[in-house]
Protein backbone atom coordinates (compact mmCIF):
# COMPACT_ATOMS: atom_id res chain seq x y z
CA UNK A 1 0.00 0.00 0.00
CA UNK A 2 2.84 2.39 0.84
CA UNK A 3 4.56 1.69 -2.49
CA UNK A 4 1.27 2.18 -4.30
CA UNK A 5 0.70 5.51 -2.55
CA UNK A 6 4.18 6.72 -3.48
CA UNK A 7 3.61 5.75 -7.10
CA UNK A 8 0.27 7.52 -7.11
CA UNK A 9 1.84 10.70 -5.73
CA UNK A 10 4.66 10.57 -8.27
CA UNK A 11 2.13 10.08 -11.07
CA UNK A 12 0.08 13.06 -9.90
CA UNK A 13 3.19 15.24 -9.73
CA UNK A 14 4.21 14.15 -13.22
CA UNK A 15 0.77 14.95 -14.63
CA UNK A 16 0.76 18.34 -12.91
CA UNK A 17 4.16 19.26 -14.34
CA UNK A 18 3.09 18.02 -17.76
CA UNK A 19 -0.12 20.07 -17.68
CA UNK A 20 1.80 23.18 -16.64
CA UNK A 21 4.28 22.63 -19.45
CA UNK A 22 1.46 22.28 -21.95
CA UNK A 23 -0.15 25.48 -20.65
CA UNK A 24 3.08 27.46 -20.90
CA UNK A 25 3.70 26.14 -24.39
CA UNK A 26 0.14 26.97 -25.38
CA UNK A 27 0.57 30.54 -24.23
CA UNK A 28 3.97 31.14 -25.85
CA UNK A 29 3.61 29.19 -29.10
CA UNK A 30 0.64 30.32 -31.15
CA UNK A 31 -0.73 30.43 -34.66
CA UNK A 32 -1.52 33.73 -36.36
CA UNK A 33 -4.00 33.86 -39.26
CA UNK A 34 -3.97 37.01 -41.40
CA UNK A 35 -7.48 38.25 -42.14
CA UNK A 36 -8.34 40.59 -45.00
CA UNK A 37 -7.90 44.28 -44.04
CA UNK A 38 -9.76 45.35 -47.19
CA UNK A 39 -12.98 43.79 -45.88
CA UNK A 40 -14.75 46.46 -43.76
CA UNK A 41 -16.40 43.92 -41.46
CA UNK A 42 -12.94 42.85 -40.26
CA UNK A 43 -12.66 46.23 -38.56
CA UNK A 44 -9.20 47.33 -39.72
CA UNK A 45 -8.31 50.86 -40.78
CA UNK A 46 -5.49 51.87 -43.11
CA UNK A 47 -4.58 52.67 -46.70
CA UNK A 48 -3.21 50.87 -49.70
CA UNK A 49 0.14 52.23 -50.88
CA UNK A 50 1.10 50.97 -54.31
CA UNK A 51 -0.51 47.61 -53.51
CA UNK A 52 0.88 47.34 -49.96
CA UNK A 53 -1.43 47.66 -46.96
CA UNK A 54 -0.27 50.26 -44.40
CA UNK A 55 -2.33 50.30 -41.24
CA UNK A 56 -4.09 47.89 -38.91
CA UNK A 57 -3.90 44.21 -39.84
CA UNK A 58 -6.80 42.07 -38.60
CA UNK A 59 -5.57 38.74 -37.25
CA UNK A 60 -6.77 35.66 -35.40
CA UNK A 61 -4.45 34.36 -32.69
CA UNK A 62 -4.97 30.80 -31.54
CA UNK A 63 -3.19 28.50 -29.09
CA UNK A 64 -3.71 25.19 -27.37
CA UNK A 65 -4.74 26.56 -23.96
CA UNK A 66 -6.61 29.78 -24.86
CA UNK A 67 -9.62 30.20 -27.18
CA UNK A 68 -8.86 31.89 -30.51
CA UNK A 69 -8.94 35.68 -30.35
CA UNK A 70 -9.55 38.19 -33.13
CA UNK A 71 -7.76 41.52 -32.84
CA UNK A 72 -5.91 44.12 -34.87
CA UNK A 73 -2.16 44.43 -35.14
CA UNK A 74 0.69 46.51 -36.57
CA UNK A 75 3.78 45.28 -38.40
CA UNK A 76 7.20 45.62 -36.78
CA UNK A 77 9.16 45.04 -39.98
CA UNK A 78 8.83 47.47 -42.87
CA UNK A 79 10.57 45.04 -45.23
CA UNK A 80 8.82 41.75 -44.38
CA UNK A 81 5.78 40.18 -46.03
CA UNK A 82 2.68 38.38 -44.85
CA UNK A 83 -0.20 37.14 -46.95
CA UNK A 84 -3.93 37.43 -46.45
CA UNK A 85 -5.49 34.10 -45.50
CA UNK A 86 -2.18 32.54 -44.47
CA UNK A 87 -1.53 31.06 -41.02
CA UNK A 88 1.89 31.43 -39.42
CA UNK A 89 3.51 29.84 -36.40
CA UNK A 90 4.68 32.45 -33.91
CA UNK A 91 6.27 32.83 -30.50
CA UNK A 92 4.84 35.25 -27.96
CA UNK A 93 8.00 37.20 -27.10
CA UNK A 94 8.52 39.56 -24.16
CA UNK A 95 8.87 43.25 -25.03
CA UNK A 96 11.59 44.87 -22.95
CA UNK A 97 11.11 48.08 -20.97
CA UNK A 98 13.11 50.33 -23.28
CA UNK A 99 12.59 53.77 -24.77
CA UNK A 100 11.38 52.10 -27.99
CA UNK A 101 8.64 50.11 -26.30
CA UNK A 102 7.66 52.95 -24.00
CA UNK A 103 7.11 55.07 -27.12
CA UNK A 104 5.04 52.28 -28.70
CA UNK A 105 3.03 52.09 -25.47
CA UNK A 106 2.33 55.81 -25.83
CA UNK A 107 0.97 55.20 -29.34
CA UNK A 108 -1.21 52.29 -28.22
CA UNK A 109 -2.49 54.34 -25.28
CA UNK A 110 -3.32 57.67 -26.89
CA UNK A 111 -3.69 56.91 -30.61
CA UNK A 112 -5.17 53.44 -30.72
CA UNK A 113 -7.65 52.44 -31.87
CA UNK A 114 -7.21 54.94 -34.70
CA UNK A 115 -10.08 57.19 -35.68
CA UNK A 116 -9.49 57.18 -39.43
CA UNK A 117 -7.66 55.37 -42.22
CA UNK A 118 -4.95 58.03 -42.31
CA UNK A 119 -4.51 57.83 -38.52
CA UNK A 120 -3.99 54.07 -38.77
CA UNK A 121 -1.40 54.58 -41.51
CA UNK A 122 0.43 57.13 -39.35
CA UNK A 123 0.44 54.66 -36.46
CA UNK A 124 1.96 51.96 -38.63
CA UNK A 125 4.72 54.18 -40.01
CA UNK A 126 5.46 55.45 -36.48
CA UNK A 127 5.88 51.86 -35.25
CA UNK A 128 8.32 51.18 -38.08
CA UNK A 129 10.28 54.30 -37.19
CA UNK A 130 10.40 53.53 -33.47
CA UNK A 131 11.40 49.85 -33.27
CA UNK A 132 14.84 49.97 -34.89
CA UNK A 133 16.71 48.15 -32.11
CA UNK A 134 14.00 45.52 -31.68
CA UNK A 135 13.96 44.88 -35.41
CA UNK A 136 17.75 44.97 -35.74
CA UNK A 137 17.72 47.32 -38.74
CA UNK A 138 17.16 51.05 -39.01
CA UNK A 139 14.07 52.30 -40.74
CA UNK A 140 14.38 53.30 -44.39
CA UNK A 141 11.35 54.64 -46.23
CA UNK A 142 10.13 52.00 -48.67
CA UNK A 143 10.02 53.20 -52.27
CA UNK A 144 6.31 52.43 -52.49
CA UNK A 145 5.39 54.55 -49.45
CA UNK A 146 4.29 58.09 -50.25
CA UNK A 147 6.19 61.01 -48.75
CA UNK A 148 3.01 62.32 -47.10
CA UNK A 149 2.34 59.03 -45.27
CA UNK A 150 5.97 58.84 -44.20
CA UNK A 151 5.97 62.44 -42.95
CA UNK A 152 2.79 61.92 -40.90
CA UNK A 153 4.29 58.83 -39.28
CA UNK A 154 7.50 60.74 -38.57
CA UNK A 155 5.60 63.47 -36.70
CA UNK A 156 3.82 60.88 -34.58
CA UNK A 157 7.02 58.95 -33.83
CA UNK A 158 8.73 62.17 -32.76
CA UNK A 159 5.85 62.94 -30.39
CA UNK A 160 5.95 59.44 -28.86
CA UNK A 161 9.72 59.29 -28.41
CA UNK A 162 10.79 59.88 -24.83
CA UNK A 163 7.27 59.38 -23.45
CA UNK A 164 6.09 56.83 -20.89
CA UNK A 165 2.69 55.59 -19.73
CA UNK A 166 0.91 54.46 -16.59
CA UNK A 167 1.82 50.91 -15.54
CA UNK A 168 0.12 48.26 -13.48
CA UNK A 169 0.82 49.01 -9.80
CA UNK A 170 1.71 52.70 -10.25
CA UNK A 171 0.66 55.15 -7.54
CA UNK A 172 -1.07 58.41 -8.51
CA UNK A 173 -1.91 60.96 -5.79
CA UNK A 174 -2.49 64.64 -5.08
CA UNK A 175 0.41 66.30 -3.28
CA UNK A 176 -0.55 70.01 -3.14
CA UNK A 177 -2.56 71.81 -1.84
CA UNK A 178 -4.50 68.64 -1.00
CA UNK A 179 -2.99 65.25 -0.24
CA UNK A 180 -6.08 63.04 -0.26
CA UNK A 181 -8.30 61.90 -3.07
CA UNK A 182 -11.66 63.70 -2.86
CA UNK A 183 -10.29 66.29 -0.45
CA UNK A 184 -11.30 69.91 -1.00
CA UNK A 185 -10.19 73.52 -0.75
CA UNK A 186 -12.08 76.80 -0.69
CA UNK A 187 -11.53 79.70 -3.04
CA UNK A 188 -13.07 83.03 -4.00
CA UNK A 189 -14.60 83.90 -7.38
CA UNK A 190 -11.78 84.88 -9.75
CA UNK A 191 -9.11 83.12 -7.67
CA UNK A 192 -6.70 80.63 -9.28
CA UNK A 193 -5.55 77.52 -7.42
CA UNK A 194 -2.63 75.35 -8.57
CA UNK A 195 -3.09 71.63 -7.95
CA UNK A 196 -0.14 69.25 -8.15
CA UNK A 197 -0.22 65.47 -8.47
CA UNK A 198 2.56 62.87 -8.30
CA UNK A 199 2.98 59.62 -10.23
CA UNK A 200 5.39 56.90 -9.13
CA UNK A 201 6.07 53.26 -9.89
CA UNK A 202 5.08 50.55 -7.43
CA UNK A 203 8.63 50.78 -6.08
CA UNK A 204 8.39 54.52 -5.51
CA UNK A 205 10.46 55.70 -8.49
CA UNK A 206 9.07 58.85 -10.19
CA UNK A 207 7.29 58.10 -13.46
CA UNK A 208 8.35 60.88 -15.83
CA UNK A 209 6.93 61.96 -19.20
CA UNK A 210 3.46 60.49 -18.65
CA UNK A 211 0.52 62.31 -20.19
CA UNK A 212 -2.17 63.48 -17.75
CA UNK A 213 -5.55 64.96 -18.72
CA UNK A 214 -7.16 67.54 -16.42
CA UNK A 215 -10.84 68.47 -16.37
CA UNK A 216 -12.91 70.74 -14.13
CA UNK A 217 -16.70 70.73 -13.83
CA UNK A 218 -18.80 73.40 -12.13
CA UNK A 219 -21.65 72.09 -9.97
CA UNK A 220 -24.58 72.30 -9.87
CA UNK A 221 -25.28 72.27 -13.58
CA UNK A 222 -22.47 69.93 -14.63
CA UNK A 223 -20.77 72.72 -16.62
CA UNK A 224 -17.40 71.65 -18.02
CA UNK A 225 -14.98 74.56 -17.71
CA UNK A 226 -13.02 75.56 -20.81
CA UNK A 227 -9.28 76.04 -21.20
CA UNK A 228 -9.81 79.63 -20.03
CA UNK A 229 -10.25 78.24 -16.53
CA UNK A 230 -8.26 74.97 -16.73
CA UNK A 231 -4.67 75.35 -17.84
CA UNK A 232 -3.13 73.18 -19.08
CA UNK A 233 -5.78 70.68 -20.04
CA UNK A 234 -3.07 68.17 -20.92
CA UNK A 235 0.37 68.00 -19.29
CA UNK A 236 3.23 65.57 -18.76
CA UNK A 237 4.83 64.53 -15.50
CA UNK A 238 8.30 66.01 -15.00
CA UNK A 239 11.47 64.17 -13.97
CA UNK A 240 10.20 64.10 -10.39
CA UNK A 241 6.91 62.51 -11.47
CA UNK A 242 5.02 65.74 -10.70
CA UNK A 243 2.37 67.42 -12.84
CA UNK A 244 0.33 70.55 -12.14
CA UNK A 245 -2.80 72.34 -13.33
CA UNK A 246 -4.12 75.85 -12.67
CA UNK A 247 -7.85 76.09 -12.05
CA UNK A 248 -9.50 79.51 -12.00
CA UNK A 249 -12.84 79.98 -10.31
CA UNK A 250 -15.12 81.90 -12.74
CA UNK A 251 -15.70 85.42 -11.49
CA UNK A 252 -19.45 84.91 -11.74
CA UNK A 253 -19.46 81.58 -9.86
CA UNK A 254 -22.10 81.71 -7.15
CA UNK A 255 -21.12 81.31 -3.53
CA UNK A 256 -21.87 77.75 -2.46
CA UNK A 257 -21.13 76.17 -5.83
CA UNK A 258 -18.27 73.74 -6.29
CA UNK A 259 -15.77 72.73 -8.96
CA UNK A 260 -14.79 69.09 -9.38
CA UNK A 261 -11.17 68.86 -10.55
CA UNK A 262 -10.08 65.54 -12.00
CA UNK A 263 -6.69 64.24 -13.16
CA UNK A 264 -6.73 61.15 -15.34
CA UNK A 265 -4.15 58.99 -17.05
CA UNK A 266 -3.96 55.47 -18.38
CA UNK A 267 -1.69 53.10 -20.22
CA UNK A 268 -1.74 50.22 -22.70
CA UNK A 269 1.57 48.44 -22.23
CA UNK A 270 2.75 46.09 -24.98
CA UNK A 271 4.05 43.30 -22.75
CA UNK A 272 4.71 40.91 -25.60
CA UNK A 273 4.70 40.75 -29.37
CA UNK A 274 4.19 38.05 -31.99
CA UNK A 275 7.49 36.82 -33.40
CA UNK A 276 6.59 34.89 -36.54
CA UNK A 277 8.80 31.84 -37.05
CA UNK A 278 9.24 32.51 -40.76
CA UNK A 279 12.23 34.91 -40.93
CA UNK A 280 10.81 36.58 -44.05
CA UNK A 281 7.45 37.30 -42.44
CA UNK A 282 6.36 40.34 -40.46
CA UNK A 283 6.51 40.30 -36.68
CA UNK A 284 3.38 41.86 -35.20
CA UNK A 285 2.25 44.02 -32.30
CA UNK A 286 -1.31 43.21 -31.27
CA UNK A 287 -3.63 44.39 -28.50
CA UNK A 288 -4.98 41.34 -26.69
CA UNK A 289 -5.51 40.31 -23.07
CA UNK A 290 -6.21 36.59 -23.51
CA UNK A 291 -2.63 35.97 -24.62
CA UNK A 292 -1.28 38.74 -22.34
CA UNK A 293 0.01 40.74 -25.30
CA UNK A 294 -1.09 44.02 -23.71
CA UNK A 295 -1.91 45.11 -20.18
CA UNK A 296 -4.17 48.12 -19.66
CA UNK A 297 -4.43 50.29 -16.56
CA UNK A 298 -6.36 53.46 -15.79
CA UNK A 299 -6.57 55.85 -12.83
CA UNK A 300 -8.37 59.06 -11.94
CA UNK A 301 -8.02 61.25 -8.85
CA UNK A 302 -10.44 63.98 -7.86
CA UNK A 303 -10.45 67.09 -5.69
CA UNK A 304 -12.99 69.86 -5.13
CA UNK A 305 -13.03 73.66 -4.99
CA UNK A 306 -15.81 75.18 -2.90
CA UNK A 307 -16.67 78.76 -3.76
CA UNK A 308 -16.87 81.02 -0.69
CA UNK A 309 -17.19 84.78 -0.15
CA UNK A 310 -13.96 86.77 -0.22
CA UNK A 311 -12.13 86.72 3.10
CA UNK A 312 -9.74 89.23 4.58
CA UNK A 313 -7.64 86.33 5.88
CA UNK A 314 -6.36 85.57 2.38
CA UNK A 315 -5.21 82.10 3.40
CA UNK A 316 -6.08 78.93 1.53
CA UNK A 317 -8.11 76.68 3.79
CA UNK A 318 -7.83 72.99 3.21
CA UNK A 319 -10.88 70.97 4.02
CA UNK A 320 -10.12 67.29 4.23
CA UNK A 321 -13.30 65.55 3.15
CA UNK A 322 -12.30 61.97 2.51
CA UNK A 323 -15.81 60.59 2.03
CA UNK A 324 -14.49 57.15 2.97
CA UNK A 325 -11.80 57.31 0.28
CA UNK A 326 -8.11 56.56 0.42
CA UNK A 327 -5.39 59.17 0.05
CA UNK A 328 -3.47 57.11 -2.51
CA UNK A 329 -4.90 55.21 -5.44
CA UNK A 330 -2.89 52.21 -6.54
CA UNK A 331 -3.50 50.61 -9.92
CA UNK A 332 -3.88 46.85 -10.09
CA UNK A 333 -5.12 44.41 -12.72
CA UNK A 334 -6.10 44.75 -16.29
CA UNK A 335 -8.27 47.59 -17.55
CA UNK A 336 -9.14 48.58 -13.98
CA UNK A 337 -10.15 52.18 -13.37
CA UNK A 338 -9.81 53.58 -9.88
CA UNK A 339 -11.63 56.89 -9.74
CA UNK A 340 -13.67 58.97 -7.36
CA UNK A 341 -16.63 56.70 -8.00
CA UNK A 342 -14.80 53.46 -7.27
CA UNK A 343 -15.82 51.42 -4.31
Rounded CA gap, 245 and 257, in Å?
20
Grouping H, G, I as helix, E, B as strand and the rest as coil, residue 71 is strand
φ, ψ dihedrals at 71, nearest 5°: -155, 175
Residue 301 and residue 181 in contact, taking contact as beta carbons nearer than 8 Å: yes
- HEC string of 109-138 equals HHCCCCCCHHHHHHHHHHHHHHCHHHHCCC
Give the start-end residues of each E strand in 44-153.
46-49, 52-55, 57-62, 69-75, 87-94
- Reported as a single tens digit per residue, the pLDDT across 44-96 is 999 999 999 999 999 999 987 778 999 999 999 998 889 999 999 999 999 99
What residue spans define the domains of the chain? 171-338
106-154 confidence digits (pLDDT tens):
999 999 999 999 999 999 999 999 999 999 999 999 999 999 999 999 9
Query: What homologous superfamily is domain 171-338 in, according to CATH?
Result: Immunoglobulins (2.60.40.10)
pLDDT at residue 317 tops 60: no
Cβ–Cβ < 8 Å for 303, 245: no
How many CA atoms, within 13 angstroms, populate the side-chain half-sphere of residue 217? 10
pLDDT at 318 over 60: no
Amino acid sequence: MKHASKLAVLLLVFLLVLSMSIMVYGQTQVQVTIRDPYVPSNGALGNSADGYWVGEIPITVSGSSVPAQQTNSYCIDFDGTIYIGSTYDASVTTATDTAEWRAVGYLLTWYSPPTSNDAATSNQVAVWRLLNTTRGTNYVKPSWLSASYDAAGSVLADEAWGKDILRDGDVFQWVSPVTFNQSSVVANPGQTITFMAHLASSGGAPRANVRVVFTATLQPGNVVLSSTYVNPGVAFTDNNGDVAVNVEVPSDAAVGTSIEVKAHTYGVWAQQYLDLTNPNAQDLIATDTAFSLTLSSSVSITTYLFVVPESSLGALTVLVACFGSFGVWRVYGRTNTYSSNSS
